[in-house]
Amino acid sequence: MTKPTAAEASLSRQTFNRLRDLVREHAGIDFPDEKQYLLESRVKPRLMAQEVPDFETYADRLEQGDTREIARLVNAVTINETAFFRHPSQFEALEDTILPELVRLHQQERSGPMRLWSAACSAGDEAYSLAILIREAIEPRHPRMDYEIVGTDIDTAVLEEARAGRYRKRSVRNVPPAYLRDYFDRSGEAFVVDPAIRDMVEFRPLNLTDAQDMRRMRNVDLIMCANVLIYFNETSKKDVLRGLYRSLRPGGYLFVGGSEALGELDVPLEPVRHEGALAYRRPTNGSVSSRA
């Protein structure tokens, strides 16, 4: 009888629980029971790549401490859907009010560069969007300001893509034509970010659920973290949000996704609405309470 292959393997509930626990431990991402099919579809390519016949054998290998494969698993289950200027209302709010306000704060009372952070940056679209916005709308009015733009992600593979700065047409569909002309070079079917914009952004690996990792991000003026919290369970979501809060300077802003309300997560951030965009601001006299 022919042995089943990895392509034919199916994920039992017991092994799903084992893999789910591993993903939760190493990435902080939670797969509820009804998402077993999704975890199976994301893990199966790893079975085939490693020539492992079934999910049980694969789970055994991970539990025995195969750190390289654990890193590959994290990359496989991470959701990487993004685009340049993906949330136009947020970038309008940044250009019209938030970035000018942060510039004024820096000119009045802060030293060092303005720090902008694209958390869970995926392939870098958002971080480069921030760089283009700074270059186009802020630098001409404030040429002496210094900026530090950082993109982080737990997925090391997409960080390599981000550093390369090559994108398909779908990724640049929201880019204004003038920006597309001035800040991208066409290479066949690819759109390549101009080197001057790439040089404005630093990409680093970072796990939002790792407290030690998060201590590296402090005194940040703006955090973009849209459509990330929805993938965490309630406990991890609160831990991540507390970490983001601690990373913000007093007066700094946090953007999350439109479906990610923070009202019940007990962190002292003030909602600030700008037409179609909702941001959260750390009060200038705010501090992390015992609950946060």
For 114, other C-beta atoms within 10 Å of its C-beta total 23
Give catalytic status of residue 42 as yes or no.
yes
- Amino acid identity at 187: S
Of the candidates 54, 125, 153, 155, the residue annotated as catalytic is: 153
Which two three-digit tokens encode residue 226?
Answer: 């849209």
For 77, other C-beta atoms within 10 Å of its C-beta total 23
Of the candidates 42, 242, 246, 282, the residue annotated as catalytic is: 42
What's the CA gap between 279 and 226, in Å, rounded? 11
Give catalytic status of residue 266 as yes or no.
no
Q: Which among 88, 81, 68, 89 has a CA at the least distance from the CA of 26?
A: 68
DSSP notation for 246-285: HHEEEEEEEE--TT---TTS----EEEEETTEEEEE--TT
Is the CB of residue 83 less than 8 Å from the CB of residue 174? Answer: yes
The answer for residues whose C-beta is within 8 angstroms of residue 44's C-beta and 6 or more apart is 6, 7, 9
Which two three-digit tokens encode residue 40?
Answer: 């199976």
- Sheet (strand 190-193) strand order: 166-167, 190-193, 184-187
Using DSSP's 3-state secondary structure scheme, residue 56 falls into helix
The catalytic site residues sit at 42, 153
